[in-house]
Amino acid sequence: MTKSINTDYFFDEAAYNTHDGGYVPLAEPKTPQQPLRIPPLLKPDKETATDTYYTVEAQAGETQLLPGKKTKTWGYNGSLLGQTVVFPKGKTMHIDLKNSLPELTTFHWHGLNVPGPYTDGGCHAPVYPGKTRHIDFKVDQPAATLWLHAHPCPSTAEQVWHGLAGLALVTDEEEAKLPFPRNYGVDDIPLVLQDRRFHEDNQWDYEADYDPDGVQGPTPMINGTINPYFDVSTQRIRLRILDGANRREWRLHFSDDLPFTQIASDGGILPSPVKFTHLMLTCAERAEIIVDFGDVTPGQTVTLYSDDVPIVRFRVHDFAADDVTLPSHLVDIPDPSVTPDMPVRKVVMSGMDEAVMMDGKKFEMQRIDARQKVGNVELWDVTNTNDMEGGMVHPFHMHGTQFLVISRNGHAPYANEHGFKDTVGVNPGETVRLKVWFDKPGVFMYHCHIIEHEDGGMMAQIEAFDPDHPQTYKLMDMDTLMKAVAEERGIDVKDLHLAGMSSYEKMGMKM
């Protein structure tokens, strides 16, 4: 087991979202505490030893979040968020993606290493209302906590805000041998961290809350639960934590600084466990932690906070003694050598509000910004040019790959960044060096995961190509998307306004 305990959040305090001009502080809900909702496991339509068949349906509904009127929400196979999909490594998945919403959407498997752009589910894979898209892929990556969310540029942020976010768990034999809690819903618990503002009659109003630097709300919502508690019945529990918010960073700690151990990050198990009392997640990052309640007296409550606001209360009940200790080494992480004679790729995230850009440009759906050969291992230097005074942390996310964090401004990465990741927070004025390779061909996006920033143009796309098997791709274009959405909403295309469009308009740029 690791000897030291990390007691700070690592990221630059001057860049915390608490310093944003539009910062919306969290407030403890005044409604009664509710049992934490645990997303059910999605049942396969059919399953064999080698293949699994699922139907994932995006649908509209209503959810009882607060006393009084139900909130109109969207979800996958339910009214809000999603049922958890399980992907065993080595099996072939066959998934029907069904859209029962009133407008087009896409199904993006965030963190899943699959071909792009159609299986990956970014903006080039629209599913129109009443239609179904079918995808097939073989799962060939390590056990990890991934997630599914809508990604229809430039309406990604609004659709995620409506509720289109769910978990996907990759399982494998190596993880199964480790001494981790894994009884889903009992000692293996997902925590999807989001925030919302409730308007008249308990409704959400994305347009009223819109901020080009990211929409926030004062009410923490965990797994679609307001003011949740969880009944602890085992000494150790595993929390699979996802920052599923549009903008908010979560700075997590337990009451009395109860220590916990991180065992996994975005792309899977860490090489060694890392002990913390404080942990910060930027948008879209995941962390799996194990919390040991062995020194907590049954009957007591341990509270998980973000900054100074309680977000989940853990009510500790009687439990059997558990003397399991984690090994000091968990898994081996591949670290391939960089392909010779490849230049370091430079990526620059700049601006805030409507001025956000990637490499001095705003995203265009049909423009390929970079190319990298499948199998090549390359270094990427990702720079955040925001000033330290008044700047913000930009979480950089890549589709189609899990990368390794090599350094931050030439220094060692944070203690929990030694495993596979697909999202990394970059401080203002900082350059983070990544080691990147693609196993699958396709067109993949890379972008800031403050979702309003990606909708506003802080996004680019790369083609991972196999010269022995060249491919061409039908890429979505803005005119087609605009006409489709306008028709779905029953308005003229000239009257259509999608939230991300304002960032282009104010900069005098075309989407």
Average pLDDT over residues 208-214: 96
* Domains of the chain and CATH, by start: 10-176 (2.60.40.420), 188-316 (2.60.40.420), 345-478 (2.60.40.420)
- pTM comes to 0.97
Please tell me the distance from the alpha carbon of residue 64 to that of residue 71, in angstroms, as a whole number: 6
Is residue 1 very low, low, confident or very high in pLDDT (cuts 50, 70, 90)? very low
Please tell me the distance from the alpha carbon of residue 407 to that of residue 404, in angstroms, as a whole number: 9
**How large a percentage of the chain has pLDDT more than 70?**
99
User: What are the CA-CA distances from residue 87 to residues 50, 112, 137, 202, 203 (Å)?
Assistant: 11, 10, 10, 35, 34
The pLDDT assigned to 3 comes to 63
Counting beta carbons within 10 angstroms of the beta carbon of residue 479, is it exposed (0 to 12), middle (13 to 18) or buried (19 or more)? exposed
The pLDDT assigned to 2 comes to 42
pLDDT tens-place string over residues 129-153: 999 999 999 999 999 999 999 999 8
DSSP 50-62: SEEEEEEEEEEEE
Averaged pLDDT score across all residues of the chain: 96
The pLDDT assigned to 508 comes to 81
Is residue 481 very low, low, confident or very high in pLDDT (cuts 50, 70, 90)? confident
Is residue 499 very low, low, confident or very high in pLDDT (cuts 50, 70, 90)? confident
In 3D space, the residue among 243, 147, 281, 210 whose CA is nearest the CA of residue 497 turns out to be: 210
- Tokens coding 16: 């915390």
Q: Is there a cis peptide before residue 102, judged by omega within 30 degrees of 0? A: no
3-state secondary structure of 227: coil
The pLDDT assigned to 494 comes to 85
pLDDT tens-place string over residues 307-364: 999 999 999 999 999 999 999 999 999 999 999 999 999 999 999 999 999 999 999 9
Q: Is there a cis peptide before residue 228, judged by omega within 30 degrees of 0? A: no
User: What are the CA-CA distances from residue 432 to residues 385, 403, 408, 472 (Å)?
Assistant: 12, 12, 5, 32
In 3D space, the residue among 207, 167, 182 whose CA is nearest the CA of residue 78 turns out to be: 167
Strands (E), 392-451: 394-398, 404-408, 423-426, 431-436, 442-448
Q: In what order do the strands lie in the sheet with 459-465?
A: 370-373, 459-465, 442-448, 394-398, 423-426
Residues 6+ away with beta carbon under 8 Å from 201: 68, 69
